[in-house]
Structure 1
Amino acid sequence: MAQREPEEQTTFDQVLKLVENLTPEAQEQLVDQMKLQLLRRELGKAEGPLRCGEGIPAEEAFAQLEERYKRRKAGK
């Protein structure tokens, strides 16, 4: 069953008021769900090029990550 389009666009301020009425636990769950949704969206963006063979080999990716880790560790 398709969702009906709201007759009126919900404003950002209205959403904030709704969130403020949530319990702290529910607010935390909402934040976690939003982070998860953003992560899934970013993974979805990355998946397309990988399926087309546009990614880099795993060995190269891990070497880059290791180098980045070493630079961060040395900077602290």
Structure 2
Amino acid sequence: MSNNTVPNSSLAIAQKTVKQLRLEASVRRIKVSQAAAELKTFCLQNAHKDPLLTGVPSSDNPFRPPKSCVIL
């Protein structure tokens, strides 16, 4: 019985590998230069929305240091 499971598992692994290779072969490819240009355009178009570039107003920042309270 164990002799039949070894070839079946090898067959299943081979089928899974073939399926993955077919999937990867069907992926649309573009040149790196085109991808870089598109990424640059996207970043420039969305830079105004990026809090790392524009900063976060202190009123909206949940991580701002807490204000101390002084009682006189």
Regarding TM over 0.5, the answer is no
**Greater share of residues in helix:** 1
TM-score, normalised on structure 1? 0.32
TM-score, normalised on structure 2? 0.34
